[in-house]
Amino acid sequence: MDYRNAFDMTGAVAVVTGGSRGIGFEAAVALGQCGAKVVIASRDQSSLDAAVRRLAESGVEATYTVLDVTDSSAVNKAADAIVAQHGQADVLVNSAGIARLNSALETSDDEWRAVVDINLNGLFWCCRAFGRHMVARGKGSIVNIGSMSGLIINRPQTAASYMASKGAVHMLTKALATEWAKSGVRVNALAPGYVATDMTLKMRERPELFNTWLDMTPMGRIGEPAEAAAAVVYLASGASTYVTGTILSVDGGYTAW
Residues with a known catalytic role: 162
CA-based nearest residue to 251, from 212, 217, 209, 202: 217
Give CA torsion, residues 13, 116, 168, 183, to 10 deg.
-30
Phi and psi, residue 211, nearest 5°? -70, -30
HSE at residue 126, side-chain half, CA atoms within 13 A, is 36
Span between the terminal Cα atoms of the chain, in Å: 36
Residues 217 and 228: their CA atoms lie apart, in Å, by: 16
| CA–CA separation, 157 and 169 (whole Å) | 21
Q: At what angle do helices 160-180 and 123-137 cross, to 10 degrees?
A: 10
Among 109, 88, 92, smallest CA distance to 100 is for: 109
Q: Which of 59, 54, 3, 57 shows the shortest CA–CA distance to 24?
A: 54
